[in-house]
Amino acid sequence: MTIIGVFDSGVGGLSVLQHIRRSLPDARLIYLADSAHVPYGDKSAHYIEQRAITLTRFLIEQGADAIVIACNTATAAAATSLRQHFSCPVIGMEPAVKPAVLATKSGVVGVLATIGTLESARFAALLERYAGDVDIVTQGCPGLVEQVEAGDLHGIRTRDLIERYTAPLLSRGADTLILGCTHYPFLASLIRDIVGTGVTIVDTGEAVARQLQRRLLDEVGLKSDLQLDICRSGFSPATNDELFYTSGDETQASDIMSTLWGSVVNALQLP
C-alpha cells in the first residue's frame, strides 16, 4: 500500500488532504498537524525549516513513500531543504498565480496569504514568472489561521477579518482571489458570501493532488489501482485509511479535525 505523509502548521492542510483522498482512494494517509507551533506565518524561516525536517523525518519513519507540505509558508521556507535531506518525493504548495492570471478579466488578482508566504523569495519568483501585465495585489491576513484552528468558520470575528482583508483587493478591482494558505479554503463559503459571485476564488489543493500522483507514478511506481480519480463524486473519508497526529492538545485537535474532515477523528499525540 502506498503511504502518503502530509503535514501543516495546524489543521488547514486537511483541505489538501481531502483532494488527495479523492484522487488516491486506496492510499494510506498520515496527517500531522503541528498545532503546538501554529501559526507558521510569524515564525522565522530557520525555525520553520527545522520543524519541517523534524516532521518529515517522523512521517518517513511511519513508512511514508512521499511527503506533501500542505502549507504555503512551510513550502517557501523548507521545500528545498527537505528535498536535500530526504530522497522521497516532496510535494509543496504555492499560491496559484498562474491559473489566477489566466482567470482574471479585470487584470487585477488579489492574494490572501500569511506574511511569511508573501515575503518569501519563492512567492517573488512566482510573480516574476507568471504575473506578466496582470496587477497582483497582496494582502497579509493575520488572525485567519487562528480562527480556523479554533473552528470559527462563520463567526462575527472571522467575518470581520475577511471583510477587512478583502476590501482593499476589491477596491483595486480584483475579480480573482487566490487563497494562499491551506487554512483559507475552509473559509471559502464565507469569503464567497462577502465578495459576491462575480469574483473567482482559486484554491491549489486539487493541483497538488495531481502533482503528487504524477510524482508517485514516476518515482515510486504507484499501482494502477490508485489512478487519479479527481472528478469522482462524493467524499466519504470514514471508509478510508487515515491516521492523524497533532503536536498540540489531542482533544482539541480531534474536535476540530472531525469538523473539518467530515467524520470522527481521533488525533494521536506526536511523540
Predicted confidence (pLDDT) per residue in 1-39, tens digit: 899 999 999 999 999 999 999 999 999 999 999 999 999
Spacing of C-alpha 47 from chain mean position: 19
More confident residue, 41 or 240: 41
Q: Are residues 51 and 130 in the same domain?
A: no
- The CATH number that applies at residue 164 is 3.40.50.1860
Let me know: does 65 contact 216? Beta carbons within 8 Å: yes
Range of the domain at 105: 97-202
Q: Are residues 211 and 88 in the same domain?
A: yes
CA-CA-CA-CA dihedral for 39, 42, 43, 45, to nearest 10: 110
End-of-domain residue from the set 187, 202, 217: 202
Q: Are residues 10 and 27 in the same domain?
A: yes
Q: Are residues 172 and 129 in the same domain?
A: yes
Q: Are residues 161 and 230 in the same domain?
A: no
Q: Are residues 84 and 103 in the same domain?
A: no
Helix (H/G/I), strand (E/B), else coil: 200: strand
End-of-domain residue from the set 202, 222, 252: 202
Spacing of C-alpha 249 from chain mean position: 21
With a cut of 60, say whether residue 229 has pLDDT above it.
no
Phi, psi (degrees; rounded to nearest 5) at 18: -60, -40
Q: Are residues 134 and 182 in the same domain?
A: yes
Strand 3-8: give its sheet, edge to edge.
Answer: 90-91, 66-69, 3-8, 28-33, 242-246, 268-269
Q: Are residues 217 and 179 in the same domain?
A: no
Which are the catalytic amino acids? 71, 181
Q: Are residues 196 and 126 in the same domain?
A: yes
Residue 31 to residues 68, 126, 245, 261, Cα–Cα distance (Å): 9, 27, 6, 11
**Residues near 116 by beta carbon (within 8 Å), at least 6 away in sequence:** 40, 41, 42, 43, 45, 48, 73, 76, 77
Dist CA 187 CA 204 (whole Å):
14
62-116 pLDDT, tens per residue?
A: 999 999 999 999 999 999 999 999 999 999 998 999 999 999 999 999 999 999 8
Dist CA 223 CA 94 (whole Å):
27
pTM as predicted:
0.89
Q: Are residues 110 and 196 in the same domain?
A: yes
Closest CA to 75 of 148, 23, 2, 7: 7
Q: How many domains does the chain have?
A: 2
End-of-domain residue from the set 162, 178, 202: 202
**Bridge partners, residue 113, by sequence:** 140
